[in-house]
Amino acid sequence: MYMVWNFIWGVVILLLIASGLFDAINWSVNIPIIVFVVLLWLITVYNALIRMRNRVREALSDIDVQLKRRFDLIPNFVATVKGYAAHESGVFEKVTEARAQVAKGGTPLERAGAENMLSGTLKSLFAVAENYPDLKANTTFIELQRELSDTENKIQAARRFYNSMVLELNSAVHAFPTNLLAGMFTIHEEKFFEGLSEAERAPVEVQF
């Protein structure tokens, strides 16, 4: 959108110059008009940058909401699986350790590595569950699996949306002339949310 406004204002100024309007009107009038147009452009671009930055922050907050939801679901899911496969201790330990790493805090971006590791351990836990027909038939397990799978999908969708907002903001921050305003008002580029591998980016599959 900011590029559209840049184009519109540029066209308006060029048309005014080409039409000879500035020459036809006394410069005591021209100067206020030019100042008004420039100020209007500055306000428009500044507001666009602020909106983009706020959308990035909102998108990051949405990721955090989904990550917290998954974090809260995991203990119940582990307890349910453990009731049928208590001897699979190695898998449970990995899930617990990965969750503990996430619990250390920070923003979703700062926890990205730990969150991706947690996704990987959950896949292992789902794989273990496939070997226990009675567990797969348990209604609590089925509901928790659905909720976790839905949360994983929402996390990936939220990350994609966040990255698209970051791309838009970063383009504005680096493009001329909006980069001048971005630097003036300390609006910086943001980091993309990247997974460690394609396997970790993939949502948890629900299999019954």
Q: Does residue 208 lie in a domain region? A: no
Q: What angle do CA 83, 97, 94 make, to 5 degrees?
A: 55
User: What is the domain-level CATH number for residue 153?
Assistant: 1.20.1440.20
**Which pLDDT value is given to residue 146?**
92
**Which pLDDT value is given to residue 22?**
55
What is the domain range of residue 30?
Answer: 2-201
Q: What residues in the chain have per-residue pLDDT under 70?
A: 1-30, 195-208
Q: Does residue 207 lie in a domain region? A: no
Tokens coding 100: 């503990």
What is the CB neighbour count within 10 angstroms for residue 206?
14
**Which pLDDT value is given to residue 199?**
43
Q: Does residue 139 lie in a domain region? A: yes
Number of domains forming the structure of the chain: 1
The residue whose two tokens read 């500044």 is 46
Q: Does residue 82 lie in a domain region? A: yes
Q: Does residue 54 lie in a domain region? A: yes
Q: Does residue 206 lie in a domain region? A: no
What residues contact residue 78 under an 8 Å CB cut-off, 6+ apart?
A: 92, 95, 96, 125
Q: Does residue 52 lie in a domain region? A: yes
What is the CB neighbour count within 10 angstroms for residue 37?
14
Tokens coding 50: 């602020």
Q: Read off the pTM.
A: 0.74
